[in-house]
Structure 1
Amino acid sequence: MTLLPFLLAAIGGYLLGSIPFGLIITRAAGLGDIRKVGSGNIGATNVLRTGRKDLALATLLLDSFKAGLAVLLFSLLFESRNVGLIAGLAAFLGHCYPVWLGFKGGKGVATYAGLLVFASLKGLMIGAPVWFAMFLLFRISSLAALTAAALVPLGALLLGETEFAVGVLTALSVLVFWTHRSNLSRLLKGTEPKFGQKKKADETP
């Protein structure tokens, strides 16, 4: 296979992933610019800070589905799972760094989860229970996300996932740690808030 399918998948996946659903939904609901609320993030967690659980859920589902759609669409179009995986990776990058918003987007957890549903059930089998267990134990969403991200590639590999897929999952997990670097810093300091607690003014998105 030539590089052209992978290039098209990267471009198409990025464009799908860069659709800022959180911003679009909150503006359509008359809540203004979500980037001026809470952490300034466009993801579901920050949308929830508006008090609209329905909008947060819609954002979560749409942010998840766009990566899954990229995987499904390009896998079918080029009859190649690897091409679909590249589209999913690009969708993740589009979500986190959308060109339309000055490359300032979400942190990618929902987008990663949606990719796993469509691209690697073996990765999902590891990531989902780890996330839920960690969240139930500590009630810290970033800790749950980072723990799950750290274990997904290794777990998928042990379950027999392909080397190419494990490589993509590893890249995604590294990116999750990068987008959560401020959260990681607070976790190490013991200042990361639990779910439902208000963020401090000096916290960055």
Structure 2
Amino acid sequence: MNYAYFIGATLLAYLIGSLSFAVIVSRLSGLSDPRSYGSKNPGATNVLRSGNKAAAIATLLLDGLKGWLPVVLVKWFGADYGMGDGTVAAVALAAFIGHLYPVFFQFKGGKGVATAAGVLLGINWVLGVATLATFGIMVFFSRYVSLASIAAAVFAPFFYLLGDRAAWNVDKSIVLALVAIAALLVYRHRENISKLLKGTESKLGASRQPGKKPRQ
């Protein structure tokens, strides 16, 4: 392994992950900062509470893209520079951590659901689809985005182990990265878990205070 390329790729992945598209898209769309209303989380679900579906979709796709891109770039071109699955695991985790703790936004980021999905699709598209299917099924039946996110994150490492390779042949660094991502995502949802237990968690489609800027 070339450690210079490994460190450079990991750092670049973190910086890409640090682009908080919920805030960026909201500013470009003339919306209030998503950190100031609703759940105060800079993510697509909270942007949707502003009533601007286009902004929410853009946030969702861009947050997913920033998780997917660093991973696939290393997978496609990394071998020529001595970067293998260990680097894939490192950039996957770095991009995710960048979203949670973005250097460009005072280290106050989102919960990482869309970015984690992008990372999983980059590692293995079947893994990503299986995890997204789990998320979709949970949302459909429970209407709780937070519960669906937690369940999907917890199942992701198991889906990887049950994938197209025998469990003893999978790369351990990627397994560890997936476990770390799942643990961090659950940790970032600790307030949602508390609300779920109390029965006060908002369901998808529940109205919250709007995110539009007030007229002057």
Under a length normalisation based on structure 2, what TM-score does the superposition of the two structures give? 0.86
- Given candidates 123, 142, 156, the residue that maps to 1:152 is 156
Does the 8 Å CA contact 1:11/1:90 hold for their aligned counterparts?
yes
Counterpart secondary structure, 2:24: helix
- Given candidates 182, 192, 196, the residue that maps to 2:205 is 196
Does the 8 Å CA contact 2:112/2:185 hold for their aligned counterparts?
yes
Deviation, 1:110, is 0.2
Does the 8 Å CA contact 2:88/2:174 hold for their aligned counterparts?
no
Rg larger in structure: 2
> What RMSD, in angstroms, separates the aligned Cα atoms of the two structures?
1.7
Does the 8 Å CA contact 2:85/2:173 hold for their aligned counterparts?
no
Does the 8 Å CA contact 2:49/2:208 hold for their aligned counterparts?
no
Q: Which one scores higher on RCO, CA 8 angstroms, separation ≥ 6?
A: 2
Q: Which amino acid in structure 1 is aligned with residue 48 of structure 2?
A: L
d(CA) in 2 for partners of 1:196 and 1:57?
15
Per-residue CA shift, 1:22-75, capped at 9, x if unaligned?
111111122242221212221111111111000100000000001111112233
Gaps of 5+ in 1: 201-205
Deviation, 1:189, is 2.0
Alignment pair present for 1:117 and 2:121: yes
Displaced runs of 4 or more, over 3 A: none
Q: 1:32 to 1:186 in 2, by over 3 A?
A: closer
Percent identity reads 42
d(CA) in 1 for partners of 2:201 and 2:85?
38
Per-residue CA shift, 1:147-173, capped at 9, x if unaligned?
111111012112234322211111110
Does the 8 Å CA contact 1:157/1:163 hold for their aligned counterparts?
no
Gaps of 5+ in 2: 210-216
Give the 5 Å matches for 1:15-54. 15-54=15-54
Q: Which residue of 1 aligns with 2:102?
A: 98
Q: Which residue of 2 aligns with 1:69?
A: 69
Under a length normalisation based on structure 1, what TM-score does the superposition of the two structures give? 0.90
Q: 1:151 to 1:27 in 2, by over 3 A?
A: same
